[in-house]
């Protein structure tokens, strides 16, 4: 598909008003997307587990307005006006207007809330932009009843990407790939797809316990971090590595090879941070407690053979991944050894989910 496929047909009469609510999850990348081209196109493909508990609920109330010259919206986070978020929504509306031309016909009240702390290192932009995009797609479906579910999800993912790249992986579950990759049929830079190949049952009920090492604002925004890849001396090899790891995961997923899965996931996490440490300017996003957790996971896995591993986003917090079969051992280890390294002892238990859902 191309961008032109997402341009709408002529709408019938616009409804006067309405209200829609969607809940969309965050996701955690296994193969990381780091670096992007114009129009939110990824420099390399990525694949992620869709989460379940860590999610954003967004309600969009829309009222028809007479003036169609600009975008009109109010934004509330947890019931309070959030003026500093509005420029991001303005930019998003500008990017998607050609694909949702009804946007200038309404005033929107956007009410959003997260099930997890803001700035906790969980991708709130992914779940937030996914939930907003689904609400807007729901409006379009009211204007064009011919839209089928497959197209609805693809366009929602396409729109979400224009708000936040990784948001395109938060529409569906449970294993989502985004980015053109010759080894994956129907893969696209424009939207995420459900992983099309065989996946062993061991990966179907995976858990993700998120250790909140540092709950403050990120040292560097994702946008700035992605831009640092443009002149990065190791960028091209990194992009090649991501493609290679996706190729390796095909047999790993089908065979249920946890040992090789762990190698790729942990290597990807450390490579992401290596890119940040070797960019110009350079950043160290891990904290001492991040390293303590990683070393304890390595020691525990070596001693017990329990297939527990870590991954990281662009921050200090640690996502601890493990299959359902070792849940009790993993949780006990986390509580006994790792929680001490969390800020105020805070952590979040999550698992693989099935994607976004409409609430009303």
For range 181-193, the mean pLDDT: 97
CA-based nearest residue to 180, from 239, 125, 127:
239
pLDDT value at position 221?
83
Tell me the average pLDDT of the chain. Answer: 95
Cα 185 to Cα 194: distance, rounded to the nearest angstrom = 11
pLDDT digits (tens, 9 = 90+) for 46-68: 999 999 999 999 999 999 998 88
pLDDT value at position 247?
98
193 Cβ neighbours under 8 A, 6+ residues apart: 176, 177, 178, 184, 186, 187
174: preceding bond cis by omega (within 30 degrees): yes
pLDDT value at position 13?
82
pLDDT value at position 10?
82
Question: Residue 300, CB half-sphere, CA atoms under 13 Å: how many?
Answer: 23
Cα 30 to Cα 207: distance, rounded to the nearest angstrom = 13
- What kind and span of H or E run contains 89? helix 86-96
| Cβ pair 146, 11 in contact under 8 A | no
For Cα atoms 82, 87, 91, give the angle at the middle one, nearest 5 degrees. 140
Cα 187 to Cα 43: distance, rounded to the nearest angstrom = 14
Cα 360 to Cα 133: distance, rounded to the nearest angstrom = 16
Cα 352 to Cα 360: distance, rounded to the nearest angstrom = 23
pLDDT digits (tens, 9 = 90+) for 191-240: 999 999 999 999 999 999 999 998 877 778 888 999 999 999 999 999 99
**Residue 111 burial by CB count (10 A; 0-12/13-18/19+): exposed, middle or buried?**
middle
For Cα atoms 315, 320, 325, give the angle at the middle one, nearest 5 degrees. 165
For range 100-109, the mean pLDDT: 96
The DSSP bridge partners found for residue 27 are 50
Cα 258 to Cα 264: distance, rounded to the nearest angstrom = 10
Backbone angles phi, psi at 177, to 5 degrees: -110, 140
pLDDT value at position 120?
56
For range 130-137, the mean pLDDT: 98
Confidence of residue 133 (pLDDT cuts 50, 70, 90): very high
pLDDT value at position 326?
98
Q: What is the DSSP letter of 13?
A: P
pLDDT value at position 281?
95
Q: Return the minimum-mean-pLDDT range out of 119-128, 150-159, 265-274, 318-327.
A: 119-128
% of the chain surpassing 70 pLDDT: 98
| Cβ pair 58, 21 in contact under 8 A | yes
Report yes or no on whether pTM surpasses 0.85: yes
Pairing of strands 207-211, 318-322: antiparallel
For range 141-158, the mean pLDDT: 95
pLDDT value at position 119?
57
**Alpha helices (H) along 199-343:** 222-227, 235-255, 258-277, 288-304, 327-333
């Amino acid at each position: 598909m191309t961008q032109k496929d997402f341009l709408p047909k002529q709408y019938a009469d616009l409804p006067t008003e309405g209200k829609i609510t969607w809940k969309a999850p965050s996701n955690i990348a296994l193969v990381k997307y780091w670096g992007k081209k114009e129009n939110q196109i990824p420099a390399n493909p990525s694949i992620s587990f869709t989460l379940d508990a860590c999610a954003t609920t967004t309600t969009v109330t829309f009222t028809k307005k007479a003036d169609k010259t600009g975008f009109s919206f109010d934004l509330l986070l947890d019931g309070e006006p959030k003026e500093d978020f509005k420029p991001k929504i303005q930019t998003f509306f500008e990017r998607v207007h050609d694909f949702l031309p009804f946007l200038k016909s309404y005033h929107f009240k956007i009410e959003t809330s997260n099930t997890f702390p803001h700035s906790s290192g969980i991708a709130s932009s992914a779940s937030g932009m996914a939930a907003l995009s689904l609400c807007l797609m729901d409006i379009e479906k009211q204007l064009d009843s011919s839209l089928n579910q497959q197209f609805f999800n693809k366009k929602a993912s396409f729109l979400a990407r224009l708000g936040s790249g990784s948001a395109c992986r938060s529409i569906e579950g449970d294993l989502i790939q985004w980015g053109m990759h010759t080894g994956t049929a129907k893969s696209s830079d424009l939207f995420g797809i459900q992983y099309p190949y065989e996946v062993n049952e061991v990966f179907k009920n995976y858990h993700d316990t998120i250790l909140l090492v540092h709950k403050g604002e990120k040292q560097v925004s994702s946008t700035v971090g992605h831009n640092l890849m443009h002149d990065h001396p190791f960028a091209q090899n990194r992009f090649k590595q991501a493609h290679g790891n996706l190729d390796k995961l095909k047999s790993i997923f089908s065979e249920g090879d946890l040992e090789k899965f762990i190698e790729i996931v942990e290597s990807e996490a450390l490579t992401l941070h290596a890119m940040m440490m070797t960019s110009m300017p350079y950043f160290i996003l891990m904290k001492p407690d991040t390293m303590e957790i990683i070393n304890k996971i390595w020691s525990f896995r070596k001693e017990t053979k329990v297939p527990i591993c870590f991954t990281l986003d662009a921050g200090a917090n640690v996502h601890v991944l493990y299959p359902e079969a070792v849940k009790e051992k993993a949780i006990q280890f986390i509580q006994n050894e790792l929680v001490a390294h969390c800020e105020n002892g805070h952590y979040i238990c999550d698992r693989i989910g099935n994607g976004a859902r409409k609430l009303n």
